[in-house]
Amino acid sequence: MIEFTKMHGLGNDFIVIDNRDGGLAADYLSGIAPVLCRRHFGIGADGLAVLSSSSQAPFRMQIFNADGSEAEMCGNAIRCLARYVWDRGFIKEQTFAFETAAGIKEINLLIRGREVEAVRVEMGSPILESDKIPLRGPSRRAVDEKIRLGNEELLFTAVSMGNPHCVIFMPALEGVPWQSWGEALEHNPLFPNRTNVEFVEVLSRDRIKVKVWERGAGATLACGTGACAAVVAGVLTGRLGSAVRVDLPGGSLQINWEKDGKVYMEGPAEEVFSGRIETIKLLEEAR
């Protein structure tokens, strides 16, 4: 039996498991993630967010996508875990850090009374060099670079926020087959580690509308790192200012690319319910 908590950030939902004692190995968590995340047959979620111990920070976050692959970073999941540790009294300070596979991330809880109103995360500096994103081909910054998708020729900007993103600006999102395009681009050979894909409509220099195809999860209602990547791409291409409201299907995030070179994300995190689940039975049914 595993105890879990269901949480979401703007509808991007996660199964949260406290594994600070290290009782669940990474390969086991990767194996059960697809079973637990199955809609209708499991708990249902976009991913599995695991709270672990760390020697470098108060906590460590591990994030497994719904297909079982492990992600380097997830903006919505880290906000959920930040609220999780505060609500349970695991941390007393409003400012603290998480270790992630994409480095140490600083957290600032915005508190009213004792309630978490929002979570602000220092997401680090964007990675723009193609060999570090990674992106195949010569070393470069891929900014408004052409990519062919069937009969369509699109322009994309590649950004890593600890995980890879392919950002595509469109005049309007209505009528765009973004889900089929997103799935195709996720597996495009140009991206050796696959990629998240953001389709962006610019509403003004300080506001955009974004739809996200997440690597390993598919269409989701929100993506924190994707919102950051979209703003970075907008600044690089001259479409946006450095402080932008990002409207996603599940709600809005405030993203600032500040003068220190780092990107800051601010948004909510909500707990839905908690429970216990027998994983052995689910694994047998999945087979």
228 flagged as catalytic: no
Cα(63)–Cα(70) distance, integer angstroms: 6
Catalytic residue among 37, 166, 223, 228: 223
- CA 77 to chain CA centroid, Å, is 7
Computed on alpha carbons and rounded to an integer, the radius of gyration of the chain in Å comes to 18
Cα(96)–Cα(92) distance, integer angstroms: 9
In Å, what is the CA distance from 246 to each residue of 108, 109, 208, 266? Answer: 20, 20, 5, 10
74 flagged as catalytic: yes
Cα(269)–Cα(8) distance, integer angstroms: 6
Residues sharing a CB contact under 8 Å with residue 102, sequence separation 6 or more, in sequence order: 72, 73, 124, 161, 162, 163
Catalytic residue among 74, 80, 166, 228: 74
Cis, bond preceding 126 (omega within 30 deg of 0):
no
Q: Which two tokens stand for residue 269?
A: 């995190």
The residues carrying an active-site annotation are 74, 223
